[in-house]
Chain A
């Protein structure tokens, strides 16, 4: 979980002091630091400007960040070793201990069509993850009964990643104790830093971080013998093909996708094809109102409403 020391080493002193003295860390989702702009926070589900005394809707009261502040955050997050985190920065984020993920924006430098580095950092988004242990408890028996082939669906920010994380933990630690592999392409599920997961994803869970889904699935099938692979945000036909291959090898897959309901989901061709092939036995739709994994609807393999 997040240690106060993590924020202290990353944030400019005035920002850190305001956050620690005025805000409840358990209610803090994001800290956005942009060069030449007010510092903003997402706190209790809403965006505010960060002031010396807390939060406000008035930008004139806000703490302002400089380009040096933004660079300082990137340098500090990379353990004062930007060169060692160049690949992470090129991917757009650095993950630090406690599962804190820092998105980085700046000027990209290309050489012969390949991204070489990012320079002149302009903004960072410090995302603070929160575990909600047990948020999947209402659907776990249904997931297991349906062979752990499920798709978690919601609009952005409704808790898909939080739900997947808890599903991994529960499949691993609760009976019947599955071997789980997390294909953590953007290091958001397990938040591994220095080889150690920052989130509780279960004692029988292996994590492949920062890799493409194709590579992670291939490693899983060839050498890790998982019972279930969990991955976040499937996007297109290529992802469905990878999942199809894994299921064909006898491995169940639980994934997530963006949509705000069954109708919107079915507009995506790769989902229609997946539904026709019954790749997923269950679709769990999260409500966008709560952001904590509230289940709004459950559908069966044919995307018709199901009783849970």
Chain B
């Protein structure tokens, strides 16, 4: 069940990160709010992404935070680190290009996480539920 929970958190994380990039890209077309404003206004369902956003905003303000890695693999962490720290370093056209490229690459991680969750995560969650139900019946 714990494994199922982890896989669901990973799926949720990459979905939320993609939503953030969509929000950011939209901001480049309309409001042109600064990176700290966009990140600060984004309410993430993923606790890990929320902590990473807080670290990035703190770094922009002069702090020296390390992005938490959580359950990310080394490759995933390197990608996310680079993605979040390079936000805002280009003009609008360059930023849109970078965000699109980021979403493409992110798509691979997101698809992999979704696939693993669909394959194992759901089953683990169901098994965990059945085990809990059995335990409850035995106790009764």
Residues of A in contact with B (beta carbons under 8 Å apart): 5, 8-9, 71, 75, 78-84, 86, 89, 116-117, 119
Contacts and interface: CB of A to CB of B under 8 A. Distances in A.
Contacts of A9: 61-62
B34 A80 contact: yes
Interface in B78-110: 87-95
5 contacts: A9-B61, A80-B35, A82-B88, A84-B34, A89-B91
B55 interface: no
Contacts of A75: 88-89
Contacts of A83: 28, 32, 88, 90-92, 94-95
Contacts of A81: 33-36, 88
Nearest to A9: B62
Nearest to A79: B34
Interface of B: 28, 32-36, 60-62, 87-95
A82 B60 contact: no
Nearest to A5: B62
A100 to B, nearest CB: 15
Nearest to A83: B92
Most B C-beta atoms less than 10 A away, residue of A71, A82, A119: A82
A13 to B, nearest CB: 10
B60 to A, nearest CB: 5
Chain A to chain B: the 10 pairs with minimum beta-carbon distance, closest first: A81-B34, A83-B92, A80-B88, A81-B88, A79-B34, A117-B91, A9-B62, A80-B60, A83-B95, A81-B35
Label chain B's interface by main secondary structure: loop
Nearest to A85: B34
A78 B35 CA distance: 10
Given A5-B62, A83-B88, A84-B88, 5 more contacts: A79-B36, A81-B33, A83-B28, A83-B91, A117-B93
Nearest to B32: A84
Nearest to B39: A80
Contacts of B90: 82-83
A192 B3 CA distance: 53
A179 B90 CA distance: 41
A97 to B, nearest CB: 12
A70 to B, nearest CB: 13
A287 B32 CA distance: 44
A84 B34 CA distance: 6
A78 B88 CA distance: 9
Contacts of B93: 116-117
Contacts of A84: 32-34, 88
Contacts of A89: 91
A235 B46 CA distance: 57
A8 to B, nearest CB: 6
Nearest to A75: B89
A183 to B, nearest CB: 24
